[in-house]
Amino acid sequence: MSNIESLFASRLDEIPFSGIRKVFAKIRELESQGKEIVHWEVGRPDFDTPNHIKQAAIEALNRGEVHYAPNHGILPLRKAIGERTKIDTGVDVDGENQVIVMSGANEGILVAMLAFVNPGDEVLVTDPNWHHYKSITSIAGGIPVEIPTSAEDGFKIKPEDVESRITSKTKMLCITSPGNPTGCVQSKENLEALAEIAIRHNLLVISDEIYSRIYYGDGEVAPSIYSVPGMPERTIIINGFSKIYSMDGWRLGWTVASPELTQCILKIRQYTTVCVNTFTQKGALIALTGDQTCVDDMVKEFTKRREILINGLRSIPDITVSDSLGAFYVFPNISAYGLSSQEMADYLINEYGIATVAGSVFGTSGEGHLRIAYSCSTEECARGVEVLKKALAALRS
Ligand SMILES: Cc1ncc(COP(=O)(O)O)c(C=O)c1O
């Protein structure tokens, strides 16, 4: 080991570089050679941020709103987030004392873990899952404990699989519904069963609801564990503006938790990013309180793309795909083709210009699958299905 390497923090050993970065690098290489790519790799909407939201931020900037905001965010925005949470979960939320505006949902997860996870604490995370959960647990000094889920059960988090992994060190259960990479939604009944376990074992729950309004089931929003009696006192909701308002580059998210938990999170937050800049919060305020037609329009567009993808994939021999009732991901099983998920992802990008992410990037239970993000245009989705049909026909022959 060189002298410099001996200075690296040991927590770096626990966290890999994201497998998705490799896909981005490959795409840059192929596009620089003039190749046309089907962009099914990126987990963010392709839409521009709606104009009224941009205008509100521009006006705030022009008014000189360029100074520090309160650590927990500007009050009108916290109140608007409280009201939105009431609409989504049916639970009264006091925006003044229960909400913190974060620099993206990701900061919310990090700060919440730093506030509650002690070194050696175990954190239950589903597998496959958005890989940040495992890495952020490790950064906080915790130990991620995986709960496997499978396509056969629609990626349901089985209560018995949670129960059997609980030890005296278990501190927290992380639920992402709708899920990334699967797009699958945990049913209300299942969330009730998970809530019963969390209450009985005195666990905290992180409920990542960033895709909850991109939902194709009954009603306008996916079920939330926060709605289950007894859960508001032990749940930290993670949510944000990146997906539903197409504001990923703005870096705006939030946490909702009890006043007591919120104080703990705030304590850490005052020493991380301190606060979110003021003028972007003014844009976010209009996002939540203004006309919601932009959300309806986006969800309508995603609905069309989902149908194209699910119907297209189901018309291809030897592919199975779950219903994926939320987010903008489908997670087909391609294992019948005899390639690993990474080999299949490499074949598709190298030979046919189709960019996906190998399921193994999201955990061992993701093996045999590909994550397809239908966050590119509807036309590109339809073209992608045709190219995919050719690519897989060539493999079969
Ligand atoms: C499940 C999940 N949570 C949180 C995030 C991060 O969102 P933000 O852009 O608000 O940090 C993502 C982004 O892909 C995600 O998939």
Task: Kindly give the pairing relationship between strand 204-208 and strand 170-176.
Answer: parallel
**Residue 382 token pair:** 């339809």
Give residue 283's pLDDT. 98
- Lowest average pLDDT, out of 8-22, 199-213, 272-286, 342-356, goes to 8-22
Which of 109, 242, 248, 375 most suits a substitution to test ligand 1, by most atoms within 8 Å of the C-beta? 242
- Sign of the CA dihedral with 329 first, then 369, 107, and 116 last: positive
pLDDT at 248 over 70: yes
- Ligand 1 atom nearest to CA at 240: 10
Nearest alpha-carbon partner for 308 in 239, 358, 248, 377: 377
Domain segments of the chain: what residues? 5-48+294-396, 51-289
The topology (CATH level 3) of 51-289 is Aspartate Aminotransferase; domain 2 (3.40.640)
Which of 106, 251, 276 most suits a substitution to test ligand 1, by most atoms within 8 Å of the C-beta? 106
Mean pLDDT of 342-368: 96
| 189-199 pLDDT tens trace | 999 999 999 99
Q: How far is the CA of 248 from the centre of ligand 1 (A)?
A: 9
pLDDT at 1 over 70: no
What is the distance between the alpha carbons of residues 146 and 134, in angstroms, rounded to a whole number?
9
- Ligand 1 atom nearest to CA at 176: 1
User: Is the CATH number 3.90.1150.10 carried by domain 5-48+294-396?
Assistant: yes
Which of 49, 174, 243 most suits a substitution to test ligand 1, by most atoms within 8 Å of the C-beta? 243
- Which residues form ligand 1's pocket by a CB distance below 6 Å? 43, 104-106, 130, 176, 180, 208, 210, 240, 242, 248, 253
**Residue 344 token pair:** 């299949």
pLDDT grade, residue 17 (50/70/90)?
confident
**Residue 108 token pair:** 């919310």
CB atoms within 10 A of CB 297: 12
| 89-98 pLDDT tens trace | 999 999 999 9
- Ligand 1 atom nearest to CA at 248: 9
CB 250 within 8 A of CB 284: yes
Residue 235 is inside which H or E element, if any? strand 235-240
pLDDT grade, residue 22 (50/70/90)?
confident
**Residue 247 token pair:** 């504001």
- Ligand 1 atom nearest to CA at 106: 11
Nearest alpha-carbon partner for 238 in 204, 272, 195: 204
SS3 call for 251: coil
Share of the chain above pLDDT 90, in %: 95
| 158-182 pLDDT tens trace | 999 999 999 999 999 999 999 999 9
Same CATH fold assignment for domains 5-48+294-396 and 51-289: no
Nearest alpha-carbon partner for 328 in 127, 43, 47: 43
Residue 90 is inside which H or E element, if any? none
Q: How far is the CA of 6 from the centre of ligand 1 (A)?
A: 33
Nearest alpha-carbon partner for 159 in 199, 203, 191, 123: 191
- Ligand 1 atom nearest to CA at 253: 10
Q: How far is CA 340 from the centre of its chain?
A: 24
> Which residue's alpha carbon is at the smallest distance from atom 14 of ligand 1?
43
| 357-382 pLDDT tens trace | 999 999 999 999 999 999 899 999 99
Mean pLDDT of 51-79: 97
